[in-house]
Amino acid sequence: MTELLAMDYRPVLAIMCPIIASFLILVSGRRPNIRESWTIIGSISLFLIVLSMTPFVLKEGPIKCSLFKLFPNIDFAFNVDAFGLIFATTSSCLWILVSLFSIGYMRGLEEHAQTRYYFCFALAILGAIGIALSANLVTLYIFYEILTISTYPLVAHDESPEAIYAGHKYLAYLLTAGVFFLLGILVIYFLVGTTDFAPNGILKPALGSTSRLVLQALFFVFMLAFMKAAWMPVHSWLPTAMIAPTPVSALLHAVAVVKAGVFGIIRTVYYVYGTDLMHELNLGLALGLLASFTIIVANFYAIGQVNLKRLLAYSTINQLSVIILGAALLSPMAATSAMIHIAYHGFMKITLFLCAGAIIVITGKTEISQMRGIGRQMPITMTAFSIAAIGMCGAPPVAGFISKWYLCLGTLQAGQVIFLGVVLISALLDVVYFFPVIKTAFFEKLAVPALANGGEVGEKTIEAERPLYLFMIIPLAITAIFSIIFCLFPHTFHILDLAEMAVRNLFGGM
């Protein structure tokens, strides 16, 4: 009993926040203002709880909390370590901002089924936080499935035939991935009898009892399990899912689903397999090649896109594989880069998507060619967009520079210069497709012709036309500013400290 009381219950509190919020959202469906306030309260409390755990973890080490026994040697347990906290901090902070944006978006477009939307959103965040805090593969699997199932009604929200088709494709990919995940977990449990995460991996003992080929094949089963990370060629659910409302796309592409995928991959590489086993089986190189393929090909796909959201989708696919590449290099600096890029890319990508969403709501435009001169109509929005785009290309003073810098150093540290080339080429290609958007927005004439009476209509900013729009503009400005802050002050939210601590534990103080 005393050990029950001595357990730190903060992980459980963190999980309870979204659960209680979702329930309250469901019952206050008839009163929209109260319903939205539950979301805001829940997200702020979650963020504060996560932030409170950070100093403790930095000083003392992981917070462990085991709830009940699922199987022999597998508990439903939480293990809040440095790496998990990076993901948790990012998700919870961005939940607040995306919720504010959603209020503006959903009410601006007068969308249907808003209660279902906020309910599923809260459950999706539950999935993300659970994934971040879980202590073993089975707990991760539980929250993984919660994430997939709760995001399905969000993707198909529109309920048009295309939206339902997109939802079915989404589910087909991700639940198949879940089946592969289950198979992988079972084989690991069968081989070593445990599925807990440990910094040096748990699979090393299996080398004695089974062949190398089995372990290599098992790794690819796990890669298939993490189709959420949208590596090619199992990426095509992501562009199709762009038909979802933009806050959902922001959630999918910055916060929850895709980051859960790369989070799972990093957990598998470092905490299940471990760096020694990865070197032994040459899996680092294989993974690196796979990631490089995705990086380059996704960039080429992005260059040809006319729809802004699809362009951002391919940019996401590209950046996720940058994170995977960082993990695959198996060197301390590259691993640091992967971990901080989870957070930094989250903030930058969300800025881009929120801008796209604001443009859709305020002007109704979705294609880049329609957005000529929109920079003058929506200056704050397009400035934020440009800041984030600069960051995606890896240029200072935006956070993307820090993670790209660490990554390049990491490739040199690992001695794989070819990947350095890949990173630099991809940065160049990023400029190729982001620059035209900025150019079209700022440096081209407005699409609207001048009025007969001489004045040019639409030159004025329309961002503050309705007070509702401020709900959208302010969050995206905040995320853009955070992207700059992360570059100038890397210790914000302790993201860099957490990454360094995690890497130190993994590589033993190298």
Partner 1 sequence: MEKIISNSPALIVVIPLISAFLTLGIGVLKKKFCYPFAVIALSLSVFSSVVTLNTIIKTGTIHYHLGGWDPPWGIEYVVDYLNGLILVAIAIIGLMIVIFSKETVKMELPERIPFFYTIFLLEVTGLLGIVVTGDMFNLYVFLEIASLAGYALIAIGEDGAPLASFRYVIMGTIGACFYLLGVGYLYIMTGSLNMADLTQILPNFYHSKVIMVAFVFFVVGVAIKMALFPLHTWLPDAYTRAPSAVSALLAPLMTKVGVYVMIRILFTVFRPEFPIKMLHATDIMAWFGTFAILFGGIMALSQTDFKRMLCYIIVAEIGYMVGGIGMANALAIKGAIFHIINDMFMAACLFLVAGIVMHETGGHDISDFTGIFRKMPFTAAIFMVGALAVIGVPPTCGFFSKWYLLLGGIEAKHWGFVMALLLCTLMNVALFFRVIDKGLYVHALEHKLEHASEPKELQFHEAPLSMLIPGFIIAIAIFLIGIFNQAILKNIIELAIPSGL
Instruction: Report the interface residues with partner 1, using CB under 8 A.
Output: 68-72, 76, 112-113, 116, 138, 141-142, 145, 149, 152-153, 156, 159-160, 164, 168, 171, 175-176, 179, 182-183, 186-187, 189-190
Return d(Cα 352, Cα 379) in angstroms, integer: 14
Residue type, 346: G
Look up residue 327 and give its two tokens: 């993990």
- Shortest distance, CB of residue 116 to partner 1, whole angstroms? 8
- Nearest approach in angstroms of CB 451 to partner 1 is 34
Q: Are 147 and 127 in contact (CB under 8 A)?
A: yes
| Closer of 129 and 368 to partner 1 (Cβ) | 129
On whether the CB atoms of residues 209 and 274 are closer than 8 A, the answer is no
Nearer to partner 1, 30 or 59 (CB): 30
- 487 and 396 Cβ atoms separated by less than 8 Å: yes
Q: Which residue has the tokens 């309920």?
A: 159
Residue number with CB closer to partner 1 (171 or 334): 171
Q: What are 57's two structure tokens?
A: 């973890």
Q: Of the two residues 155 and 388, which places its CB atom closer to partner 1 in the complex?
A: 155
Comparing CB distances to partner 1, the nearer of 138 and 342 is 138
Minimum distance of partner 1 from residue 26's CB (angstroms): 9
Minimal distance, residue 155 CB to partner 1, in Å: 12
Rounded Cα distance between 138 and 193, Å, is 13
**Torsion on CA atoms 393, 399, 403, 404, rounded to nearest 10:** 20
- Report which of 390, 358, 381 is spatially closest to residue 487, judged by C-alpha positions: 390
Q: How far, in Å, CA of 172 to CA of 232, rounded? A: 16
SS3 68: strand
Residue 73 or residue 282: which is nearer to partner 1 going by CB? 73
Which lies closer to partner 1 via its Cβ, residue 153 or residue 239? 153
State in angstroms the smallest separation of the CB of 332 from partner 1: 35
**Pair of tokens at residue 337:** 């880069």
Residue whose CB is less far from partner 1, 20 or 142: 142
Assess whether the previous peptide bond of 233 is cis (omega < 30° from 0): yes
Rounded to a whole number of angstroms, the minimum distance from the CB of residue 186 to partner 1 is 5
Quick one: tokens of 97?
């901002």
Q: Which of 390, 296, 287 lies closest to 335 in space, CA to CA? A: 287
Smallest gap from residue 237 Cβ to partner 1 (A)? 15
Residue 153 Cβ vs partner 1, minimum distance, rounded to whole Å = 6
